[in-house]
Structure 1
Amino acid sequence: MQRWASTVARGRIPQAAAVIIGNEVLSGKTKDTNSYYLARTLFDQGVRFARIETIPDLIDDISSTVRRLSSSFDYVFTSGGIGCTHDDITYEAIRQAFGLSLEVHHPTVETMRAYYASRGVKLNSAHMRMATLPYPADKIISTPGLWVPAVQVRNVFILPGIPSLFESMVKSILAQLDCGTGKFHRLSLNLAVGESEIADCLAEVQSEFPTVEIGSYPKLSQGDPPSYTTQLCFTSRDQQLARDAVAAFESRFKHI
């Protein structure tokens, strides 16, 4: 198998996608916080988080979704489905997606054995299921204090759904990941007006600064009667360009 190279072309903003796996998320039983954490963390690293897809515990759905996103984005993160029960099928789905096999990863078994031995628990077949990983994997990434590894297959990082584990592993992965050069800079303005009063002005500024992402977010304040306020966010890898866009808006806003 040809190994995938995690290199982003100089000057290009890497893009990432996430696959949130689990019937419990789709049914509303469990609130997905992992995609929110990933969004904030990737933003801080200068990676554009461009897609989130939430899908059920179905092998074909997981396999086809991961394969499709892997071909379209620099990095794909999956969340959920790597435990020890019948509905934990993410490893099998990844195997299917890329034509791999599943093999027991003995270093993971030994780490798991030590972890559970300290708690007086002997390994059983359910534990071994969690150490049966897609093979060959590009990387098995360990996280200090955890026995469960993050598995990388091509540009796909396979992570657990438990938020504390997911967050720890994302930190370990990003410490090794090529995130390109440069970070995002976000500048905010809070205005005591509704969006409709500034829409034309915003369109003009966006046209003048096409590489600056300008977001407009209305809020309804409490009061009698309630009133609208608007937060504007100007985001760019070029901090000065973001500042120039803010200045251009403020100059126009004075004349509204």
Structure 2
Amino acid sequence: MSDERPTTAAMLVIGDEILSGRTKDRNIGFVADTLTDIGIDLEEVRIVADRMAAIVEAVRALSGRYDYVFTSGGIGPTHDDITADAIAEAFGVPLRYDPRATAILQAYYEGRGIEMNEARRRMTRIPEGADLIANPVSAAPGFAIRNVFVMAGVPAIMQAMMDDVVKRLPAARPLVSETIEAGRGEGDVAAALTGIQERFPDVRMGSYPYHDGTRFTTRLVLRSRDVAALAAAAAALRAALAAL
């Protein structure tokens, strides 16, 4: 078994609009794909309402449990955008108007002939000690504090911010995968799959039943950072299936 501990992450999605169903989340899948590509395991996702206590509790729990936490939502100009307040509360630091963020937004709005009013100025409040995350779409920055990266909820903006975040993350060995069509039902392959999983603990094995239009069958997906172990496990599984 490999001694290498995988880098782990969680995602915190913030917003009443997600929980009510008015807005369909498009950020979880994007973050999951991005982290998988660079070898970081996304192990938990939480969705919480725009409630201070809920956000604070989730940030404290997730930041203590995982290497990184990625948040989306709640850093806009309206009264219910309280993510910055909650992050500051969670880490016990002041929330202040940040001169770096102020300069970025002032230049952005002046260049478009838009007034820098109090609502827009609200987006320059950053917890003390945080680094800014670039926002090439609408300028208002996200921020990173400790192991938490705080980004917008609008998918186009969050995805642009994630481009900046990825540059700050460590390179790890990404997961590689192999898919095997079992050609039979899940109940028929369960014992063989269990036996192979026990032999290859560094290879994750998933069983996904589906109907192919004619019958119920099973797709088996093997994932590992160890290419040799993956190949050996796939060969062993194919042999076990052929013997059924």
TM-score bin, normalised by smaller chain: over 0.9
Alignment partner of 2:110 out of 103, 108, 117: 117
- Residues 209, 217 of structure 2: 8 Å contact kept: yes
What is the match of residue 153 of structure 2?
A: 161
What is the match of residue 184 of structure 1?
A: 175
Alignment partner of 2:144 out of 146, 152, 174: 152
What is the match of residue 239 of structure 2?
A: 251
1:217 aligned counterpart, secondary structure? strand
Superposition map of 1:199-214 within 5 A: 199-214=190-205
Q: Distance in 1 between the 2:8 and 2:107 partners?
A: 38
Which range moved further: 189-198 or 239-248?
189-198
1:230 aligned counterpart, secondary structure? strand
Taking structure 2 as the reference length, the TM-score comes to: 0.95
Could you list the per-position Cα deviations for residues 91-129 of structure 1 after superposition, in whole angstroms to 9, with x for gaps in the alignment? 000111011111111222222122222322110000110
Match status 1:136 vs 2:124:
no
- Residues 135, 157 of structure 2: 8 Å contact kept: no
Taking structure 1 as the reference length, the TM-score comes to: 0.90
What is the match of residue 173 of structure 1?
A: 165
Superposition map of 1:42-57 within 5 A: 42-57=35-50
Number of residues of Structure 1 aligned to a counterpart in Structure 2: 242
Q: Distance in 2 between the 1:173 and 1:124 partners?
A: 28
Match status 1:80 vs 2:68:
no
Identify unmatched segments of 5+ residues in structure 2. Answer: none
1:238 offset after TM fit, Å? 0.6
Could you list the per-position Cα deviations for residues 178-209 of structure 1 after superposition, in whole angstroms to 9, with x for gaps in the alignment? 24x31211111123322111111100100110
User: Which is bigger in relative contact order (C-alpha 8 A, separation at least 6)?
Assistant: 1
Percent identity of the aligned residues?
Answer: 37
Match status 1:233 vs 2:237:
no
Q: Distance in 1 between the 2:123 and 2:233 partners?
A: 50
1:144 offset after TM fit, Å? 4.2
What is the match of residue 207 of structure 2?
A: 216
Q: Distance in 2 between the 1:149 and 1:227 partners?
A: 51
- Residues 101, 136 of structure 1: 8 Å contact kept: no
- Residues 15, 48 of structure 1: 8 Å contact kept: yes
Q: Distance in 1 between the 2:135 and 2:38 partners?
A: 19
Query: Quick one: which amino acid aligns to residue 176 of structure 2?
Result: H
What is the match of residue 96 of structure 1?
A: 89
Query: Quick one: which amino acid aligns to residue 176 of structure 1?
Result: R
1:77 aligned counterpart, secondary structure? strand
Q: Distance in 1 between the 2:34 and 2:207 partners?
A: 22
Q: Distance in 2 between the 1:115 and 1:151 partners?
A: 18
Which range moved further: 114-123 or 239-248?
114-123
